[in-house]
Amino acid sequence: MTLNNEEINRYSRHLTLPEVGMGGQLKLKEAKVLMIGAGGLGSPLGMYLGAVGIGKLGLVDFDVVDHTNLHRQIAHAASDEGRPKVHSLCDTILAGNSNIEVEVHNIRLERENVLELFGQYDIIADGSDNFETRYLINDAAYFTKKPLVSASIFRFQGQITIFDPESGGPCYRCLYSEPPPAALVPS
Ligand SMILES: [Zn+2]
């Protein structure tokens, strides 16, 4: 794998960083990241991962852009209202960097599709907004041996961590063995 002339120019500030350099940039280009959620977390995440040159980004969401999303889900424009979020986010990412590949999965993540999907990527990034999905993602990442970058927000609080049982660390169920009762928690 190599960089074309436009990419060498685009990523020049990376290439001059000793911590990144050509080797690091090529690692980014070879990487395949699957993002769950194209909303409040997925918007900035997708835009940044696309801008830095992750070679392949997968976007999973089944929701459509709503007027109440616009004040924080910054990948979506007012003209995107009613469109699937994965398409809106994909367009925004590619408008910034057309060197990369974006694959949209306009689906609800389920037991039946999650393992096959995770198997196609190197790293899973969870920006989902409900516990059912969060546990499903944890279990699928565990069984497919993929590092899981897990983030969540509630009002003014945020949490982010990386679960990588393959390197000896815990998984999400090690921290929280059971989902909380649905009636007690907000999404
Ligand atoms: Zn565990």
What distance in angstroms lies between residue 142's CA and the mean position of ligand 1's atoms? 8
Give the tens place of pLDDT for each residue, 116-128.
999 999 999 999 9
Average pLDDT, the chain: 95
pLDDT band, very low/low/confident/very high, at 187 (cuts 50, 70, 90) = low
What distance in angstroms lies between residue 135's CA and the mean position of ligand 1's atoms? 11
3-state DSSP helix/strand/coil % of the chain, to nearest 5: 45, 20, 40
> What pLDDT shows up at residue 69?
97
Q: What is the pTM of this model?
A: 0.95
Give the tens place of pLDDT for each residue, 29-72.
999 999 999 999 999 999 999 999 999 999 999 999 999 999 99
Query: Which tokens in the block code for residue 180?
Result: 């909380």
What distance in angstroms lies between residue 101's CA and the mean position of ligand 1's atoms? 32
| DSSP state letters, 30-85 | H-EEEEE-SSTTHHHHHHHHHHHT-SEEEEE---B--GGGTTT-TT--GGGTTSBH
Over residues 89-93, the mean pLDDT reads 98
Check whether 183 has a pLDDT greater than 80. Answer: no
Separation between Cα atoms, residue 110 and residue 116, nearest integer Å = 11
What distance in angstroms lies between residue 112's CA and the mean position of ligand 1's atoms? 21
Separation between Cα atoms, residue 40 and residue 74, nearest integer Å = 8
- Domains annotated for the chain, with CATH where assigned, are 1-29 (no CATH), 31-184 (3.40.50.720)
What distance in angstroms lies between residue 46's CA and the mean position of ligand 1's atoms? 27
Give the tens place of pLDDT for each residue, 137-168.
999 999 999 999 999 988 899 999 999 989 99
> What pLDDT shows up at residue 169?
93
> What pLDDT shows up at residue 185?
73
Which residues are found with C-beta within 5 Å of the ion, ligand 1?
171, 173-174
What distance in angstroms lies between residue 163's CA and the mean position of ligand 1's atoms? 9
Check whether 184 has a pLDDT greater than 80. Answer: no
> What pLDDT shows up at residue 65?
98
> What pLDDT shows up at residue 7?
98
Check whether 104 has a pLDDT greater than 90. Answer: yes
Over residues 157-185, the mean pLDDT reads 89
What distance in angstroms lies between residue 160's CA and the mean position of ligand 1's atoms? 17
